Structure 1
Amino acid sequence: MGGSKINLDSLAYVHYSHQDLAKEEKFLKDFGLEEVERVDSRVYYRGTGPQPFVYVAEQSTDPQGKRFVAGGWLVQSIDDLERASSLPAASSIKDSKEPGGGKVVTLKDPNGVEIRLLYGQETLGEKSEPMTSINTPSEKQRKGEFVRMKTGPSHIHKLGHYGFMIPPADYKKTLSWYTSTFNLKVTDSVYNPETNEDLTCFLHIDKGQTYTDHHSFFLGHTPKSKAHVHHASFEVQHMDDQLLGHDWLTNKGWTNCWGVGRHVLGSQVFDYWFDAMGNILEHYADGDLVNEDTPWGREIESPESLYVWGPNIPLGFVTTEMNDANVPIPAPA
């Protein structure tokens, strides 16, 4: 921490534009997000946590119809905004006009992806969430209490992570920029055993001895010619809440991308969905925590590095195309 780096405190929100905003709003409600404010063509959504918003949906003016617009992060001090504003092509420090206010600096990464850094944002009171104690064979926590859950969307607590697929020629440059500009540190990476080159990496916010999520950001290789967002992921209360949300989205007719299953790196129980426009959003529960003493892990690229249980990886998760949902990955020659 410290030094010339910009010290991130936590991930705040993601911002997408959509060609059919009305249809997207129906998905986001079924996904478990709650509308809090509308400003012009933007709709702001929150979860049950203290953040004033965790997702921004905007009416698209792009002929392509959908676009990842920006990722928002909270920084630790006003000095971090000062450092950010001195970077090439960064904005000056401005008043944020979004829910929660505060100060904001906008900049772009090497691939032209917009990043918004916030300080002084006002938080909200947390909303109550459904809690259940777990009875194990050796420890019975729930005595005289019953599990009586209700059907409905998952209860989203916060935005956990997002990340991009990068053309191989730009991967190292992009990773170097993020780790030298911010207090982001690689937790785990997946590598090609033939070349020993990393293909995917998961980065956490380095806050010294303080434990943080296994990853708040990730980068991976793509055969496509342009960097693109792979998915954004939201933490839910627990696995039961996640599975209730899975059934709710299924019954509403939305398209599952991959899940439910258990990741290896990060350990999260995952459930990926295509939204109304074909972006991938994830519900996750029960993720790992790390700190500065956690060693960098490296795993060989294989299905076994992605999940320990769950359905086979579908083609849609690899291509990020809704048309490939439920299509098996072709067997290698």
Structure 2
Amino acid sequence: MSSSPKIKVVRLAHVHYQHPQLDKAVQFLKDFGLSEVKRVGSRVYFAGFGADPYIYIAEQAPGSRRAFIGGAWVVHSEKDLQAAAAHPDASGIKDDEGPGGGKIVSITDPNGYRISFVYGQQLRSDPAVEETDRIVGGEPPVLNLALEKPRQGAFRRFNVGPSPVHKLGHYGYIVPQTVFQKTFDWYTSLISVVPTDAVFDPKTGEDATCFMHIDLGATYTDHHSFFLGSNPTGKPAFVHHSSFEVNDMDTQALGHKWLSEKGYTNCWGIGRHVLGSQIFDYW
């Protein structure tokens, strides 16, 4: 483990995937609720309706296999960016070609994946996709409950379509059991993430999964922005999934219906996790 100060991260920036059939991937991502905001060479950049200039890079794969390149984090200061660049496995600071500009530096983790750090991005002041676009007439999304009815005399009517994505929620890896602790130590000593919940395996006497949140001190943050799972089979490390936040259950259900009618295959959901309590829908 490193004795150097941790790189202070404040939120997730984006994830980066390579797709052998880029056109099909782009169409799926649009049906999923992301908005295309820029193309640079073989890369397509997507944003949500939040302030982040982009949250997903879809890139043409060099071969016939899909690949996860890595995830990126926004750092607190230029000093943190320089600290990342000083890492022995760092790429050096470069200009970010994506929307919003800024600087970016990448480090290769113990399993060959990239963790990148960005600083100086210009945030979006006029998001291209607004959640209210899904609501006929633009009514505010006020929720009525059994004992509380704040929305009176107004109905919610929705346009059919994708569920607009707000932001990147989290991503994570499944790694061989033999390197789980090493990978956990590497990430928690490098960046300011700390465990929130862990799943303990009584057979091995070790944690099998760990969910980590960004340490913002007394400021609340998401239950987890990153997670690691342990695989006892020895299969090489792989990305498990990336998660994206939407506004509410209504739009999530409408998005589920939209994807189903488009012929995409649902993996799991709609449901609710125990740890973290998120409503989920995997595709």
Could you say whether these structures have the same fold, taking a TM-score greater than 0.5 normalized by the shorter chain as the test? yes
Q: How much does 1:92 deviate?
A: 2.0
| Percent identical residues | 54
Question: For 1:141-160, what aligned pairs fall within 5 Å after superposition?
Answer: 141-160=150-169
CA RMSD in angstroms comes to 1.2
TM-score, length of structure 2 as denominator length: 0.93
The alignment partner of 2:178 has SS state of helix
Q: Distance in 2 between matches of 1:162 and 1:17?
A: 16
Give 1:272's aligned amino acid: Y
Shift of 1:224: 4.3
Residues 136-155 of structure 1: per-residue CA shift (max 9 Å, x gap): 12111101211111211001
Kindly provide the amino acid, as one letter, of the partner of residue 269 in structure 1.
I
Give the aligned residue type for 2:131.
E
Aligned to 2:61: 60
Give the corresponding residue for 2:24.
23
Partner Cα separation in structure 1 for residue 277 and residue 109 of structure 2: 28
CA distance in 1, matches of 2:165, 2:121: 20
Q: Which residue pairs with 2:177 in the alignment?
A: 168
Correspondence for 1:182: 191
Aligned with 2:269 (options 259, 262, 265): 259
Measure, in 2, the Cα distance between the counterparts of 1:251 and 1:128: 23
Question: 1:235 — aligned with what?
Answer: 245
Q: Give unpaired runs (5+ residues) of structure 1.
A: 274-333
Structure 1 SS opposite 2:149:
coil
- TM-score, normalization by structure 1: 0.79
Q: Structure 2: any 5+ residue segments left out of the alignment?
A: 133-139
Conserved? CA contact 2:38–2:98, under 8 Å: no
Aligned to 1:45: 46
The residue number in structure 1 matching 2:121 is 121
Matched ranges for 1:260-275 at <5 A: 260-273=270-283
Number of aligned residue pairs: 270
Look up the SS of the partner of 1:213 in the other structure. Answer: coil
What per-residue deviation string (whole Å, max 9, x for no partner) do you get for residues 66-114 of structure 1? 0001211100000001111111121222222221111111111111111
Contact 2:40–2:97 (8 Å) recurs in 1: no
* 2:269–2:281 contact (8 Å) kept in structure 1: yes
TM-fit CA distance, 1:250: 0.2
Residue in 2 that maps onto 1:327: none
CA distance in 2, matches of 1:21, 1:12: 22
Q: In structure 1, give the amino acid aligned to 2:106.
A: T
C-alpha distance after superposition, 1:4-63 (max 9, x if no partner): 110001001111011111111111111011111111111001110011111111111034
* Counterpart residue type for residue 243 of structure 2: S
- Residues 236-245 or 103-112, more deviating: 103-112
Matched residue of 2:266: which SS? strand
1:105 equivalent to 2:105? Answer yes
SS of corresponding position for 2:199:
strand
Counterpart secondary structure, 1:212: coil
Superposition pairs of residues 52-91 of structure 1, within 5 angstroms: 52-63=53-64, 65-91=65-91
Secondary structure of the structure 2 residue equivalent to 1:57: strand
Per the alignment, residue 285 of structure 1 pairs with none
SS at match of 1:179: helix
**Comparing 160-169 with 19-28, which one deviates more in the overlay?**
19-28
Aligned: 1:211 with 2:220: yes
Residue type matched to 1:129 in 2? Answer: E
Instruction: Work out the CA distance in 1 between the residues paired with 2:92 and 2:130.
Output: 38
**Which letter maps to 1:258?**
W
- Tell me if the contact between 2:14 and 2:57 (Cα under 8 Å) persists in the aligned partners: yes
Counterpart in 2 of 1:202? 211
| Contact in 1 for aligned 2:177/2:234 (Cα 8 Å) | no
